[in-house]
Amino acid sequence: MTKMDNTTRYERLRERYMNGDLSRRRFLGLLGAAGAAYGLVTPYRALAQEVTEVRFDGWGGVVSEALRKYAFDPFEKETGMKVVDGTFGGSDEFLSRLKASQPGEFNIAHLSGVFDYARYADLGYASELNRDNIPNLELAIPKLVDVLAQYTDGKLSAVPYDYGTTGIAYNRAHISDEEAKEKGANLLIDDAYKGKIGGWAEWRTRVWMAALQTGQDPNDIQDMDAIWDAVRQHRDLALKYWTSGAELMSLLAEEEIYVTEAWSGRVYALQEQGHDIGYMDPKNGYGWQECMFVIKGSPMEACEELLNFMLSPETSIAVAEGQSYPPALDPQKVDLGDKIPELPAFDPTGTLDNLTFADPAYWNGHEADWSKTFGRVQKGY
């Protein structure tokens, strides 16, 4: 992407924000009357004369730095509103905090997976976005938007933000590309690598990988016993369940393990550091997306305006380059620069046809049961 392109695009976007600002003022005037329509608005939010701040929660480090620089600061300058940004260590943890919070306390959250969207929606946290206020949503990959809207009957409570895959990462010094290609997910239960295998301590991923190992459709598993057997088999061969991307990278880089499933962006970061780690998405590999979810009871127009800032190509690309996951923007409509097309899981067609996403209704339906069972299997039961 040339600098010229950047500047022109930015100017064009600025114009749109000006329009956005007008509608915000109108909104502020109407806020008092509209308060009741929000349902569960807190007293103090409804009484507020003016929306002065929006609360955002997401991942820290490179992600929050990029959002602060490219979205929050320009947004604050543009609108006079303040963005209060907080961080979390995972969407489960954030959900617990949300559950113990007062309505209206949290506004926008960076959540992973369609299943989180569904989970939050099922728990009654979904809001309804007005797409007209988020012109940049037009730039997003349609499939990513549709899969969210489908779950909430055509309404939208979030905008997609980035996507990636959970594939198989392997140390090239010990496992050849051919072997990885041939064995796929079965590498994770290969006796030859006993004690050199890792895995994410997360039930969805474990069940998904087991489905691939037992030759089942991850979104329609028939033989659950076979799944748990495969999970146990993996557990007995594994050295370690990792719980964070930092840990995953460290395990692979220090050659503590040779093979694990891994998040695409993390492997890319390792490769960039010069580590000889291979990465492959097995057939029916695990695709996922992340979204910016607006929680019920939030000041909608302010949030929509902020989302529009966040979806602008500058911000999206900066965040994407920081965390090494491709942005949700459609490469057919937006020039994503040089680095993004090199990221693993990147789809230049913008159709994402080669990725399999978790069916949110299916997975959330089994969440209580499977997460608990995995908790036991994981600990040797």
Partner 1 sequence: MSVEARERRQPWILLSPALTAITLLLFIPLVFIAVYSFWLRTATGADQVGFFLDNWQEALTDRFYRDILLYTLKIAAITTILCAVMGYPAAYFIARSKGNKAILLLLLMLPFWISYIIRTMSWINILGVSGALNTFLLWIGIIDEPLQMLYNQATVVLGLIHFLLPFMVLNVFVSLDGIDETLEDAANSLGATRWQAFLQVTLPLSLPGLAAGGLLCFVLGAGTYITPLVLGGPSDAMFANLVFEAIITQLNWPLGSALSLMLLVVLGLLVMVYNRYLGMAQLMKGLG
Partner 2 sequence: MAARDSSLGWHLIRGYAMAVYLFMFLPIIVVVLLSFNASQFGSFPMTGFSFRWFGELWNNEAILRAFRTSLVLGLLTALISTTLGVLASLALVRYKVPGANTISTILIAPILVPEVVLAVALLLFLNFLGVPKSFGLLLFGHVIFTLPFVILVVQARLVAIRRDIEEAALSLGASPVQTFFQVTLPLMLPAVMAGALFAFTISFDDITGTLFWKPGGVETVPTQIFAMLRNSISPEINALGTVMIVMTVGLPLVGAAIARQMSKKSGL
- Torsion angle, alpha carbons of 334, 337, 339, 344, to 10: 20
Q: Which residues contact 310 (CB under 8 A, 6 or more apart)?
A: 67, 71, 159, 161, 292, 316
- Which stretch, 139-147, 149-157, 292-300, 322-330, contacts partner 2 (CB under 8 A)? 322-330
Residue from 2, 305, 289, 335 nearest 139 by CA: 335
Phi, psi (5° rounding) for residue 263? Answer: -80, 135
Pattern 41-70, partner 1, x by CB under 8 A: ------------------------------
274 binds partner 1 (CB under 8 A): no
- Which stretch, 76-84, 127-135, 251-259, 261-269, contacts partner 1 (CB under 8 A)? 251-259
Q: How many angstroms from the chain centroid is the CA of residue 307?
A: 15
| Dihedral sign of CA atoms 59, 65, 69, 73 in order | positive
226 binds partner 2 (CB under 8 A): no
Q: Give the H or E element holding residue 86.
A: strand 82-87
Residue placing its CB nearer to partner 2 in the complex, 231 or 252: 252
Residue placing its CB nearer to partner 1 in the complex, 7 or 96: 96
* Shortest Å, Cβ 366 to partner 1: 10
1, 28, 62, 139: residue in contact with partner 2 (rule CB under 8 A): 62
Residue placing its CB nearer to partner 1 in the complex, 63 or 145: 63
Q: What angle do CA 191, 196, 202 make, to 5 degrees?
A: 95
- Which stretch, 2-10, 18-26, 37-45, 87-95, contacts partner 1 (CB under 8 A)? 87-95
Q: Give the H or E element holding residue 319.
A: helix 313-323
Cα(159)–Cα(127) distance, integer angstroms = 12
Structure tokens, 373 = 């069972």
* Shortest Å, Cβ 8 to partner 2: 30
Parallel/antiparallel/unpaired status of strands 277-280 and 158-171: antiparallel
Q: Which residues contact 149 (CB under 8 A, 6 or more apart)?
A: 155, 156
Give the bridge partners for 159, in sequence order.
292
199 binds partner 2 (CB under 8 A): no
22 binds partner 1 (CB under 8 A): no
- Which stretch, 59-67, 75-83, 327-335, 366-374, contacts partner 1 (CB under 8 A)? 366-374
196, 266, 287, 307: residue in contact with partner 2 (rule CB under 8 A): 266
339 binds partner 1 (CB under 8 A): no
122 binds partner 1 (CB under 8 A): yes
368 binds partner 1 (CB under 8 A): yes
Structure tokens, 207 = 């069940």
Q: Confirm if 76 and 82 have CB atoms less than 8 A apart.
A: yes
- Which stretch, 22-30, 33-41, 92-100, 344-352, contacts partner 1 (CB under 8 A)? 92-100
The residues that touch partner 1, with contacts defined as CB under 8 A, are 90, 92-93, 95-96, 99, 119, 122-124, 195, 201, 203, 235, 238-241, 243, 246-247, 250-251, 254-256, 364-365, 367-368, 371-372, 375-376, 378-381
